[in-house]
Amino acid sequence: MTMLKLSSPLRDSILAAAQAGYPNEVCGLLLGQQDGDVITVCAVHPVRNVHPDRTADRFLIEPQDYLDAEYAAAAGGVQVVGVWHSHPDHPARPSATDREFAWGGWSYPIVSVKAGVATELRSWRLDGEAFGEEEVLS
């Protein structure tokens, strides 16, 4: 099982962004490094959800925001290691749409936001055709 090391301040910033963006899905990129089965996040890079129709239940990352994150990661000697996003009024579990667009080798933390309050953060990793849960460590 892989483990995602996410410090309390970074976790708190993700939860705050997820709450602030409610009732829409909010997303961001994780910058860090992987050592074996441990992914250590050292920065959270904000991105815009530019989905043209369904921001309440879908997200689409602005391409320039992704490039900016890649540049920031390279400048810091790390890499993009994942994508976090919120699920407004839904569980912190990957949806069929999440699976459709996921990339192998990345972490996918999902924040459940119920009635404007972030209630849970769980992380997932694509293993073949299905997601497996990652342990999240502070």
Give residue 112's pLDDT. Answer: 98
Give residue 55's pLDDT. Answer: 81
Per-residue burial over 77-90, b = 16 or more CB atoms within 10 Å of its CB, e = otherwise: ebebbbbbbbbbee
Give residue 81's pLDDT. Answer: 98
Give residue 1's pLDDT. Answer: 84
Residues of the chain with pLDDT under 70: none
Domain containing 62: what range?
3-127
User: What are the tokens at 25?
Assistant: 């899905």
Give residue 88's pLDDT. Answer: 97
Say which CATH number the domain at 71 has.
3.40.140.10
Partners of residue 123 on adjacent β-strands: 109, 134
**Total count of domains within the chain:** 1
